[in-house]
Each structure stands twice: as structure tokens, then as C-alpha cells.
Structure 1
Amino acid sequence: MIYPAPKHLNILEGTFDATKGIYFNHTKDSKKAEAAFKNPILEKKEDHHIENLTFVKDAALSKEAYGIKVDKTGIQIFYGTVNGLFYGVKSLIQLHKIKKGKIPYLNLSDEPDLEFRGFMLDISRNKIPKLDTLKKYVDILSDLKYNHFELYIEGFSYFYPSFEHLYNEGMTPITPKEYRALEKYANARMIDLVPCHNGLGHMTAWLKHYPELAVMPDGMFFWGSHRDPSTINPLDERSLELVKSFYKDALKSTKSNYFNINLDEPYELGHGKTEEEAKKIGVGELYLNYVLKLYDFMKDNNKTPLIWGDVLNHYPDALAKLPKDLIFVDWGYDYDYPFHKTLKQLGDLGVKFLAAPGTSSWNSITGRTTTMFENIRNAILHTKLNKGLGMLLTDWGDNGHLQMLPASIPGIVYGGLESWNARIHNQREMREYINLFVVEDLLGRTGQLMLDLGTYVDYETPYTYNASKLVSLFTVAKHLNPHDLQGSFYLLYKDHPYGLMSNFSFMLDKMSALETAISKLRFSKNDDILIQSEMLTSVRLVKSFMMVVRMHGQHVTSTEFNDYKKWLARHYAPLMKEFKKLWLKRNKSGGLDESMASLITIGEVVKIVQLLTLTTSKVEQRNSLHRDGRKMTVMH
């Protein structure tokens, strides 16, 4: 009846008729919560109205607690602070909508399980949302009673005035003016917009301009390939001054008491220029010394810093030396990440912490539904058991941020429901919430379809970490030999499960059925129609990827090859146009070309396969060549 589910709800006999509206007199506190009242069912009382909603302040209630009482005399909302009043009004609006104005007599009391209920959106992997899009995120978060929002920034996705000379015309960063406007909008909806700027690892963009500050200026080899330098040298005072300089720019545009300095994934730490010092004092102490310098800087600026946990989780002695007010954010994004171990260690050491699961939307196009559920559930459960501060749900944009908003919505909804009232909610409630409050679905099907879109990965074996098996291979497409794309694709995908698995046709049929079902959805708002278009484009991208991989697999039949060739000839080029159009509906133009690099490479392969006709004899010939280890030739 109410989402997230309240702690205590007692339904009584009788119904209060509010079908004609809910009328109230504004108070000093209700004016501060005015953003919650922006709903047509709520009206300020006029002379001809009878007041049927009153607000009762109760100092005994905690900051975010509220109560609702409905009886024959009307509706009362009890609250301790403006935050509680805001949430009480939000719940009342839900009640009115679900019950179509005929609200049952009831007594309700509610407050959250977790103090911090946060969401982080990556805006630094090509996709930088427009201000209106960011406000839409705030609306979604606010309705779910989130109270913390971060925009993940590395490189130049935020405009730092002190470094104006490092930007070019093609860049479209978030400006300080936009950030302040978003903060005002979020604060009015009881959400703290917390600055989030990386300052140790993930510094590749900065090190292109300041190569002398890199730990390893020539980069290093990891994850199967050579990588550009990404970690700034923490032993060089010039590194600290650079980071402080752009942090100072960011500090000028925030009222938050917090600042996420990140400091994750410093892959080169302990190597290169830091190797000698790491041998003396250890990587953990080396990292801690840098953390403490930035901690002092943030405290001097009246901010409490947050840092990621991936480094110090491995160095408990250094971890125990963290300042007691610093907030440690333990991240892990797969179904089996050991929150039960890591969060217990933090709790035992008395470290203030947030758990950071993920929406599982990235590296998948349409999401990874099963992983999302397990990951968020485990994070919140063990945060509660170990007395953590809360949750910071992450939505990353790895490898071009190809996923669209609908892929992230299920995780945002589940994270919001569970962080308020843990271990209560299930898929049915998620579906209902999405259909009623995220979109206005006239058929009541969108929620289930959003969840179903992220289930294709369940048929991929073995499990792939942090990605779907399908999309993880396409992320390397832009690095293939441009002079032999067809041959490169064959070598890359000949042993891929999509080229081998016997149930491939079942998976493709499943995605086609989802495509048909999505096309039949009916909405009453233009933005909901945009969500439908994003869902359709996403499922068609996955279908295209599946077909391209299958065509290069050992076990493709001639009939399959030629059928997929025809489908791609009709659909792939229009699909790329639609992808661009949808990107620009919600996001700025900067980064679009970089994001599409792998899609364009696949498009070139699609053009090549149009020149091919595969017959049964050629399938046998190709497989024979593969078995014999001879070079494959293009078959015209």
C-alpha cells in the first residue's frame, strides 16, 4: 500500500473520502517541505474548503520519522522535523493514488532502517546528463525517500574554473551554476547533493596534462593490455597541490557537510616512483598517509570526507588508524561480494561505513537483474547487522555508458525500498511501484519487463563478473585490427558461448518476445514514451550483438547466418541513429562519439558480412579450417 513499506501499519474499519481533494493550511514547517506538496490532490485551503489535513509536530519523533492517522475527522501527519513531514506527505500521496481517494482509517508509524540512503551516478564515462535529466533522477530518488545523491566525477566532466585552459569546444561538463541549481532542487526534496571528485586513481585525463606527476609515466600492463598512467604520485607535493586546487573549485559550489574524495583503484601504487617507499613502510601506510593529508584539507574546509574501501580493506592495521569521523565506503558489485566479512571487519574496528552495491546496469545494456537483487540485498542486510551508516548505491558507466535509464530503474527502486525497511520487499512490490510511480503504465506491465530485460545474462555460463559475457567482449571491438575486422571478429568470437550454445535460439526468441511486449506498452506521459523507446533500443542492441557473435561462432548454420545477415542489414544502421537521438534527449553531446566507438566498429563488421553468403559446405569448410589451425579466409 505504501512504498517503501512502513514499519507499523494498522488498518481500521471505515474509509475517509478524499476523492475531491486534500485541503490544508500551510505552517512554517510545511512551507519548508513545499516540494512534497506539488501534487494536484493537495490544495491550500480556501474559504469554501473544509480543512481535512493537519500537521502535528512531535519532538519525540526522530529526524526522519513520521506518522499518519486517518479517521472520520480527517488526516493527521505527525513529525519531528521537516524531513519527517516531507516523507509523511509523500506517503499520503501514495495512499491517495492507490486507494483512488478513498483512504482507509488507519494508524501508521514509520522511520528508516538506515541513516544514509544514497545513490551515485557516474557522469564521467562519456555520458554527462542534462540538468533536467539530473532533476528527474532527484524526483525518482525523492519519491523513494533517498536522502543522499552524488555525481561521480573524474577528469573533466565537471568544469573547474581554475583549469579553464584544459577544456576544449567538444567538452560539455557540468558547470558550477548547473551544480548549484541541482543542489537547490535536491535540498528542497530532502536530498543532500554530496560532491564526489576522484583524486588518486582514475587520474588518466589529468595526467595527460601533468605527466610528470604519474606514478608510472609510461603506464603499466594489467587486465590483459597496456594501460595509460592512471595514478597520481602521492609522494610528490605537486600532486597534492593539484588535487587540492580542483577540490577548492568544487568546494565553492556546495553546501553539503560531506565530500567524497574517492581515492580508489590506484593500480600503480607500490610500483614505479612509489616502489621504494612502499618497501619501507608498506602500501597500506603509503596510502593512509595520502588519505590523512586530504582528510586534514577537507576538515579545514568543514567537510567530512568519504573514501572508497578497496585499498585499506586489505590493510587492517592501516584501516584501524583512520580518523573516527571519516566515512569508509566498501564497494562490491557482484552477487557473491563478501559484505558479510568486510562489513563485520569494519564494524569490529569501529570504522564508520557505507556499503556500496550497484544497480548492475553497466556492461550489460539492459541490466543484470539477478545480480542486482543479490548484491543490494546482501549489502543492506550486513550494513544493518554491523551497525553501518547506510548504503551508497552506484550506477557506473564503464565502457561508454551504453545503458539507458530503464536499465538502472529496477536497482534504484529496490535500493530505495530496502534501505528504508530491509528484508521486506520483493519483485512484486518493485513491479507495482514502477508501474504506479515511476511511469504511468496503462497496462501495468513495464515493471516486469524492466526486470525481464536483465535476465538474458542468467543463461550465460560460467558467470561473468561486473558485466554480461556478451557485452564484455564487445568492449574490445574498438581495439580490433581495422584492416581485418572479419578475421579479428572470428578469432575473438569463434569459441564464445553464443556461437556454441544449443539454446541460443531460445535466448534470441526471448529477447524478440520482450521487444514485442515493450512495443505494446501504453503510457499517458511523453517522458514515459521516451522510456519505452529506450527499452526498445536497448533490447535491439542486445539482439544485434547476439547475432553478430553467433554469425562468427563455430556452430552457426547457413540458414542462421543468412537470416541474421538480413536482419542486421535492415536494422543496425537505423538503430545507431536512434541510439544517438535518445542519447541527446537526456544527455549532453560531449562524449557521444567516444561512447559509440565500439558500436561503429560492429557496424563496419555488419557491412562486411553483407558481402558474404554462407552455405552448408562453407560452414563445414570454416570449421575444418578452425580445427586444423589454418587461417580462415573470407567466404564470398
Structure 2
Amino acid sequence: MENPPADAPLILPEPKSVRWGDGFLPWERAEFKIGKDGVPVGEFLSVEFADMPQEAHDISISEVGIKIRAGSGRGAKLALQTLRQIGMQSGGRGFRFAEISDAPDLEVRGFMLDISRCKVPKLGELSRLVDMLALFKYNRLELYMEHTFAFEGHEIVWAGASPLSPAAVRKLGEICAVAGVELVPNMNGLGHMERWLRYPEYRYLAESEAPFVDPLGTVRKYPTTLYPDGRALDFMDSLYAQLLPNFEGENFNIGGDEPWELGMGRSRARCEAEGGKYGVYIAHMLGLRERAAKYGKKVCFWADVLMQSPEYSELLPCDMTPILWGYYLDHPYEEQCSYMKGLGRDFLVAPGTSTWNSFGSRWDCAFKNIQTACGCAKKHGARGMILTQWGDGGNHQPWCAMYPAIAAAAACAWGAAPAEERVCDALDRFVFIDASGEFSRALCALGRADPVQKLFCFYHKMFFAPPADAEKLAAECGFDFGAIEGAADFAFALSENSSPRCRDAEICRAEVSLGVQMIKWAMRKARGDFAADSREQRKSLKLIAAQYEDLWLERAAVGGLAESAGRIRALRPDLFS
């Protein structure tokens, strides 16, 4: 931006070029509507399509009106989001004169939402999420579904989970299409199949029968991985036949991550005969690709197994797009992206919001992880970025805790990495409508309450630990419990001093308050109330459980609530009998 005036509107992601003028286009000459196709139309607004990249666009705001020049309807929709942001800051003066030229660095700018770990948002909440994604210029929304689509004939799997119906998916797809966001299905077809394999009716598909300890140290009571044979492929094909026709776009994430038991059970002999599990894995993924192609889909897949033996990449056709995912500060994005660039094939990167297994987030980890992933993606020619929002452990994090990462990743994928202050300003102006500028900072502060920057927040582990484990964890961690509690109190104070005016303002503030209460409950436990025996702890736990259930139902369907809240209730079952 060339010497912007002090009161110049904020735009996130930051445009490639902006020249602000001194005058203003009055509101009566700046009004426009959104056509059925999502492209803006109006008496004083014109759209011209030109020979330029599809998402590139120029905006001219002058005394005669607004002119948009774009490479396609997609580019015009993106220009609309810039105009929305300017309009939200214009007050009574109208739109400031401007000349804006913009285009994204990364072609794919996606967000993946886990709706399989207990929480299935209501359609209205998903619609509002789509609106926010469009505002920050995302162009893809992936829904991660294990058992939360209403497959006919498989009611036993999704009963009580409040799955999305085919009609709901199609309705959401229509909302996404108008907003310029592709709705993409994401369903595993190898690992993470425990929601199916726990039932005897599907056990014939399992790689292994016995309980096992996964690489995270968790004892898995049920199998999680399909035995990769023709029957498994036929089974997935039967699910695809119901699922995929409800999605209009061409993309489909077939999963493929973390097939923990592969080569340990029924496929052991085959894997040993073929010199390892990777050839067996590749054959199965090719089978999934072939079946997805029947429904007109191009596939992408999680690349963690492939990166263990990347030479197998040569066996995959170029229309299969690997997704390099990693959520920690030390993830080797540079090495992995460089390797993919050397192969000359398309690939995506997938950082994370780092909200899962927390009551807030691990914000510093998420912000740095996003910057690293997007930076390496641009350096080595990736097609794009998918920001992931997982729900591991029961989806106990506040819904709004993911918003800072959404805004930051949007900016990093589009252009220059933003300062945290810019992320917060954008959220407070466009999402929370908070004139105080405090609520987004409350979320960032809540995300700094815990010193752990990896998979589990300390306070999350402490909250759910059995008494003996909690005592050991408290003795060995070396953390300052008072500092963690103080950081949570600071986040609460920021939230209480904020003044958001968004439609869900009170819900957002209540979510922060509940996160703080859960952190403080865990810290009292860390100080010695390991069995939650004190009157204060018992009373607090009952209040936490009640508030948790009430807030859940504000945004999500009832399915999965009993499982998620059950982890809280299980800490003291006698209190809830």
C-alpha cells in the first residue's frame, strides 16, 4: 500500500496493490445486490471479465461508482468480499475512493472442519462459517465425516450422531456455491474407521481384531483400519455411491492417514511378501481413486504414509494430490515441500488451528505453523493450503477459538503473513463487531494460557486424568500452575471488557468463560484435589457440565453431546446419578 491515510480501511487478506483516494462514494451510489450466482450487480456497479487469472480482480471506486474487472465469476466474488470489508468500515461517509489490484499467491485456500468427533454443527452455524470463510477469501470447505452422513442401510453406525442428511449437504453446497466456496467431502477409506468397525456387522472388514495401543499411547478398544482387499474397496464404493452425488464440486479427500494396524494383522503376510506395507497401501489408494472417479471426482489424500517412503510417489498418477500435514513447530515442511517440488507434481499443505485437546487453543503454535506451511508452499510451488480444525478428544474447545487461525491462514495463503495485531483487528471489525478491540485478543490470550505447544494442552490432560495419573502428572510437569491460572484470568478479563455486537456475542463470551473455568478447575486439581473431593471442586464440576451442555446446543446438534460431555461426567459419576 502506498502511504495509506490514517483512517484507511483494513483489508484482510492484504491486497497486492491499493491506492486510496481522498474522496468518498456516497452510499446511495454504492448500493449493490448479490445476484443468484453470487456476483455483485447494481446501478452504479459494473463487472467486466478480462483476460487475467481466474481469481485476479481489480476494483475502482470513484465518483461515478464501482467498477470490477475480474478474470472470472470467482474473481468477481472475491472482489465482493473486499467491498464488504470496506463497507463495514465506511460509516456515514460511504466508500473511500480506491484503486485495488489483487490476486492470491496460492490457488487452493481451504478449511477442513471435523464433524466426526462428536460435534455436528447446525446448518445455520455452518452457513455462518461459510460466510466468514468467503469474507476472508477461502475457496474450499472440507467436511471430515467418518460416520456423520446419513448412509441408508447403515443406521446402526450413525444412530444418535445427528448426521447430515443428503438434503442438508445439498443445501449447504448451494450456500457454498453462491459464496464462491467449493464444498468438498472428506472421508477416510482405510484408517480411522473405528466408528464402523466397532460393530460386529462390519468386523469382517477389519485388518485386526485385537485391541492395540496406537502410536499416541492410547489403548484402542476397537479396530481402526480396514483390511485392504477387494471387499473393503467394494464397501467404500457402496458408501461413495450415496455420499458423492450430493457434492457438486470435482474434489474429494479420500483420507488415507494413520492406518495404524496395516501390516500387523490380516495383511501381514502380503506386506512381508511385497517387502513392506507401502506397496499394499498404494494399491488400496489407487483402488479408492478408481472408485471415486466413477462419480466424477478428483482425489487428494493425506500424505503421512507416503512421506515415510516417498519413493512410492512415482506409482501414483499425477491426478492424485498429496496433502502434507503437520501441526507442530518442528514439522519438516521445508524438506517435504522441496521433495514434492522435485517430483514435479501438485501438492497441498495442511497446518492446523491447534485448538483440539484444549479449552482454548495453542495459538502461538498455530500461528507459527501456519506461517511456516504457507511459506514453504509458496517457495516450492504447492497448489494451496488446507487449514485443519480437528475435534480430537471430544471437541471440548470453544467454537470461536478457531477464528484467529482462520483469519491468519487466509492472509498467509493469499499474500503477506500478517502481524497478530492485524489478525485481531480484522476479527473485531468484521466478525465480532467489537469496537473495544478486545475480544479477539481474549481468544489469543486464552490460547497462550498453557505452556505445552504440541498435541495435548497440559491443563486438558490434567482435567481428564484419573487421580493417580493426575498426581504423577502434577509432580513431574514442572509447570507454574499459578501462571497458567493467571493467564486464563487475563483472557477472561479481556473478554469481560470487550463489547462484541455479532449475533452470537453472548455465546462467544460464554465459551471463553467456560474455557477459563475448565482451566482453573484443572489447576486446582493439579494443586492437590486429584479426586475432585473438595466441595468447591464438586460444585464447579457440576456447573461446568451444565454450562458445557447448554453451550453445545447453541451451535451444534444434540448427537455426540452425550459422548463428549460424558468425559466430564465420568470424572465424578456420583455427582450426576
TM exceeding 0.5 = yes
- The aligned counterpart of 2:403 is 409
1: CA distance, partners of 2:18 / 2:124: 36
Structure 1 position 243 matched with structure 2 position 223: no
Task: Indicate if the aligned counterparts of 2:359 and 2:515 stay in contact, CA closer than 8 A.
Answer: yes
Cα distance, 1:464–1:433 mapped onto 2, change above 3 Å: closer
- The code of the aligned residue for 2:127 comes to K
Correspondences of 1:184-203 after superposition (within 5 Å): 184-203=174-193
Q: Partner amino acid for 1:600?
A: R
Q: CA deviation at 1:590?
A: 1.2
**1:328, 1:351 within 8 Å by CA — same for their partners in 2?**
no
Verify the 8 A CA contact 2:353 2:387 in the aligned structure 1.
Answer: yes
Q: 2-side partners of 1:419 and 1:137: how far apart?
A: 18
Query: What is the match of residue 87 of structure 1?
Result: 78
The 3 A distance-change label for structure 1 pair 509 and 164 is closer
- Match of residue 127, structure 2, among 135, 138, 152: 135
Pick the structure with greater CA Rg: 1
- 2:506 is aligned with what amino acid? I
Report the equivalent of 2:475. 495
Give the aligned partner of residue 338 of structure 1.
Answer: 332
Q: Choose 272-281 or 330-339, whichever is displaced more.
A: 272-281
1:71 paired with 2:62, answer yes
Change in CA separation of 1:272 and 1:515 when aligned onto 2, cut-off 3 Å:
same
Pair 1:60-2:69 in alignment:
no
Whether the 8 Å contact between 1:33 and 1:85 is mirrored in structure 2 is no
Choose which of 8, 11, 24 in structure 2 pairs with 1:2. Answer: 11
Question: Which residue of the partner structure matches residue 358 of structure 1?
Answer: 352
How far apart are 1:263 and its partner, in Å? 1.2
- 2:444 is aligned with 1:451: yes
Letter of the 1:522 counterpart: S
Which whole-Å CA distance do the structure 2 matches of 1:304 and 1:358 have between them?
Answer: 23
Q: CA deviation at 1:105?
A: 2.9
Contact 2:463 2:521 in 1 (8 A): no
Tell me the residue number matched to 2:100.
108
Q: Counterparts of 1:451 and 1:21 in 2: how far apart (Å)?
A: 39
Where in structure 2 are the equivalents of 1:376-455 lying within 5 Å? Answer: 376-423=370-417, 425-455=418-448
Contact 1:162/1:249 (8 A) holds in 2:
no
Deviates more, 1:61-70 or 1:363-372: 61-70
Q: 1:466 aligns with which of 430, 455, 462?
A: 455
* Residue pairs, 1:4-19, within 5 angstroms: 4-12=13-21, 14-19=22-27
**2:7 aligns to what?**
none
Counterpart of 1:586? 555
Are 2:365 and 1:371 equivalent residues in the alignment? yes
Give me the CA root mean square deviation: 2.3
Q: CA deviation at 1:166?
A: 4.4
Q: Spell out, residue by residue over 1:95-129, the C-alpha distance to the aligned partner (whole angstroms, 9 max, x if none).
A: 23324234433221001111100000001111111
Aligned mates of 1:186, 1:16 — CA distance in 2: 32
Given residue 253 of structure 1, which amino acid in structure 2 is its aligned partner? N
Partner in structure 1 of residue 223 of structure 2: 229
Shift of 1:541: 1.1
1:347 partnered with 2:341: yes
CA distance in 1, matches of 2:19, 2:218: 60
- The within-5 A match list for 1:498-537 is 500-501=478-479, 503-537=480-514
**Structure-2-length-normalised TM-score:** 0.92
Which of 107, 113, 117 is matched with 2:109 structurally?
Answer: 117
Once residues 424 and 574 of structure 2 are traced to their aligned partners in structure 1, the CA distance between those partners, rounded to angstroms, is 38
Match of 1:147 in 2: 139
How many residue pairs are counted as aligned between the two chains? 561
Distance change in 2, residues 1:201/1:69 (3 Å): same
Contact 1:496 1:549 in 2 (8 A): no
Distance 1:521 1:494 in 2: 34
Give CA-to-partner distance per residue, 1:61-103, whole Å, 9 cap, x none: 2211111112333322212211111111221222233242344
Please list the CA deviations of residues 573-624 of structure 1 after superposition, one character each: whole Å capped at 9, or x if unmatched.
22211110000111111111111232113345999xxxxxxxxxxxxxxxxx
Q: List per-residue Cα deviations over 1:308-328 (Å, max 9, x = no partner).
A: 101011112211221111111
Secondary structure of 2:323's partner? strand
Separation of aligned partners in 2, 1:530 and 1:491 = 34
Q: Which residue of 2 aligns with 1:630?
A: none
Aligned to 1:634: none
| Contact 1:123–1:151 (8 Å) recurs in 2 | yes
Change (3 A) 1:493 1:314: closer
Which among 510, 522, 525 is matched to residue 545 of structure 1? Answer: 522
Change (3 A) 1:173 1:58: closer
Q: Distance in 1 between matches of 2:367 and 2:474?
A: 32
1:365-397 Cα offsets, whole Å, 9 max, x none, are: 100011001110011001111111100100000
CA distance in 2 between counterparts of 1:325 and 1:242 reads: 23
Counterparts of 1:245 and 1:150, CA distance in 2: 21
Change (3 A) 1:450 1:226: closer
Contact 2:439 2:499 in 1 (8 A): no
Question: 79-88 vs 117-126, which deviates more?
Answer: 79-88
Q: Read off the aligned partner of 2:118 and give its amino acid letter.
A: N
Higher mean C-alpha deviation, range 377-386 or range 246-255: 246-255
Q: CA deviation at 1:417?
A: 1.4
Question: Quick one: structure 1 residues 507 and 391, their matched pair in 2 at CA, closer, same or farther if it must change by over 3 Å?
Answer: same
How far apart, CA to CA, are the structure 2 residues paired with 1:19 and 1:72? 11
Structure 1: any 5+ residue segments left out of the alignment? Answer: 38-43, 46-50, 481-485, 554-560, 608-636
User: Does structure 2 retain, via aligned residues, the 8 Å contact 1:493–1:552?
Assistant: no
Give the Cα–Cα distance (whole angstroms) in 2 for the partners of residues 420 and 135 of structure 1.
Answer: 23
Q: Does 1:571 align with 2:533?
A: no
Distance in structure 2 (CA, Å) of the matches to 1:114 and 1:493: 43
Whole-Å separation in 2 of the counterparts to 1:382 and 1:516: 37
1:180 aligns with 2:170: yes
